[in-house]
A and B are shown apart, each in its own frame.
Chain A
């Protein structure tokens, strides 16, 4: 089982990228689980096509510990197991603690043993702002962290912060940095800027995604690009990226 956490600045396209990678790997016959770690609970929406699914924290709120594993999951495109951690009421509670509670509940209910996924993606909200958001990179969770970034300064800054967190935790046995994913926004010298960041944080760019209207077209249909436009150039890019990430995640 390969466990991969994907971080990056809010709005950079993490969920779209992760969902397309999940779909691409599922197409290849791999058993994939995607866990959205964001109170908005919209990470897996293009995979399960149900609009919303009950989040783990919703279920904890309603039923405390008396929750069945099946209630926390929805099976989506080509068997991808979709989970949304959820969060507290907007403006209240502690979202970071919520991520911990949700991931612990998933583990306690045997999610990894029952579904036995080949690949687990943790799609994590924005930056590593507190202890809760480092949970997916802790020992027992992700093996590798990948950061989605564009050449925009704020995205690069967020990526650098996340890389610092990974570096800070290296003596704790946490996940290692697997690499950067460049999601092009067509800013000037974009590739050079991202390459420079990769050098600074001693990693590499494992894949590049071009800006494409196909992504928004697929979003309109409520599906991933892989499902909605399987023959498109963009679907090919996602497949190449998924394979590159899967390969990089297996490196020691």
Chain B
């Protein structure tokens, strides 16, 4: 491994396998991690706060050295078939990890075999446990958008005239036959505890949307059943609340013409912007990146390190309501339109450390603090995908409590320690 990728002071993000598990946890599918039950088991103990009070069909295959050496792939298929017969999952996902990756296990072929015998859809995730959680969660949400969301019966009756047309276009209920309706159907896409913890953020987003005249069709994937997600084509707009939700939103736009709005509703000003953008997106069928609408400031002295949509939304909210000059340093994947010109995508610990030299205030997960030079104001904002359960209890619900957090940011104290 080149030194550029080495991590010596800070943590690493949850793996792509965990991203898949977290995204699909509540949907009644059976997720099988093909692994000896080593590091990948820490998903349940460290990265999944719902594990101890919510049932979910997440399994480790218990791959042994003998199975690996002898190529006993039938054992995986047989075990999955047995478990599928016992639990009747809605779908099955097979997750690749480093050992089967090196063996070249053909999950797609094993999946076809299981699917043919069990009569349950089987999907092979292109994971390797070495990529970050956002890649896995993104794949999982896109899978839902591609294969689980049903084409409305209305579209099936009318049929299609051109192959390039979406399968179905939601009628844009904000403007229907010249009369404005009061409700807009919205799917919230990209919610996992890895980004939002289990602190009520998902419910707060739902309440915010209902408060501004929207109807939440489905919430991907906290607080919705698979049956609700299957009806997602009825929405007028998709609200993307993390990078992980973007690929699914694009797929829903391809299939149904549904536009999307990107941003987390933090603070009154950004909430107003998102509410307005949802209405405009529904009316014009155009996407809006509300999280990128930041008010510039000559004095940019605050840096947020974190997931791009959440961090950009927090930066936008702070800039709008408190006039803060904020930049985002994103150590994860992102996409065009989320970050602004002075933000940075950082590829390594060394690069991040160099960038933080001279920065006066840093908002980040507490495990980033060792990279900050002495004297930097450090404001902890736990991120479960980075620190697991360490700071789980103190991760705030900023949808409801943005002002409390913002006051902490704008106070001029010298240093904040990790909570």
Contact = CB atoms under 8 A, between A and B. Distances in A.
B108 interface: yes
A157 interface: no
B103 interface: yes
Interface in B44-65: none
Contact of A135 (B102, B104, B112, B113): B104
B106 A132 contact: no
A128 to B, nearest CB: 11
A130 B109 contact: no
A173 B102 contact: no
A179 to B, nearest CB: 23
Contacts, number: 35
B21 to A, nearest CB: 24
Contact of A173 (B103, B104, B112): B112
B105 interface: yes
A125 to B, nearest CB: 14
Contacts of A96: 104
B76 interface: no
Contacts of B106: 131, 134, 138, 172
Interface string B108-139: 11101100100000000000000000000000
A233 interface: no
Contacts of B113: 171-172
Contacts of A173: 109, 112
A131 B103 CA distance: 6
B272 interface: no
Nearest to B73: A131
Contacts of A97: 101-104
A131 B108 contact: no
Interface in A100-139: 100, 130-132, 134-135, 138-139
The DSSP consensus for interface residues of chain B is helix
A138 B110 CA distance: 12
B104 A131 contact: yes
Nearest to A96: B104
B375 interface: no
B213 interface: no
A174 B109 CA distance: 8
Interface in A163-212: 169, 171-174
B223 interface: no
Interface string A69-107: 000000000000000000000000010110010000000
B100 to A, nearest CB: 9
User: Which one of B101, B104, B109, B116 has the highest number of Cβ atoms from chain A below 10 Å of its Cβ?
Assistant: B104
Contact of A130 (B103, B108, B110, B112): B103
A152 B395 CA distance: 71
A139 B111 CA distance: 12
A219 to B, nearest CB: 33
A169 B103 CA distance: 16
Interface in A1-43: none
Nearest to A64: B2
A171 to B, nearest CB: 6
Contact of A134 (B101, B104, B110): B104
B94 to A, nearest CB: 14
A199 to B, nearest CB: 28
B109 A139 contact: yes
A100 B104 contact: yes
B102 A94 contact: yes
B337 interface: no
Contacts of A132: 104
Interface string B74-118: 000000000000000000000000000111111011101100100
Contacts of A139: 108-109, 112
A39 to B, nearest CB: 15
Contacts of A169: 109
B102 A138 contact: no
Contacts of A134: 104, 106
A169 B77 CA distance: 14
A131 to B, nearest CB: 3
A131 B109 contact: no
B71 interface: yes
Nearest to A100: B104
Nearest to A174: B109
A130 B103 CA distance: 8
Contact of B71 (A94, A131, A174): A131
A138 B109 contact: yes
A172 B116 CA distance: 10
B65 to A, nearest CB: 15
Nearest to B108: A139
Contacts of B104: 96-97, 100, 130-132, 134-135
A66 to B, nearest CB: 13
Nearest to A135: B104
B4 to A, nearest CB: 11
Nearest to B2: A64
B224 to A, nearest CB: 34
Nearest to B100: A131
A131 B105 contact: yes
19 contacts: A94-B102, A96-B104, A97-B102, A97-B103, A130-B103, A130-B104, A131-B103, A131-B105, A132-B104, A134-B104, A134-B106, A138-B109, A139-B108, A139-B112, A169-B109, A171-B113, A172-B106, A172-B113, A173-B109
Interface of A: 94, 96-97, 100, 130-132, 134-135, 138-139, 169, 171-174
Given A96-B104, A174-B109, 17 more contacts: A97-B101, A97-B103, A97-B104, A100-B104, A130-B103, A132-B104, A134-B104, A138-B109, A139-B108, A139-B109, A171-B113, A172-B106, A172-B109, A172-B110, A172-B112, A173-B109, A173-B112
Interface of B: 71, 101-106, 108-110, 112-113, 116
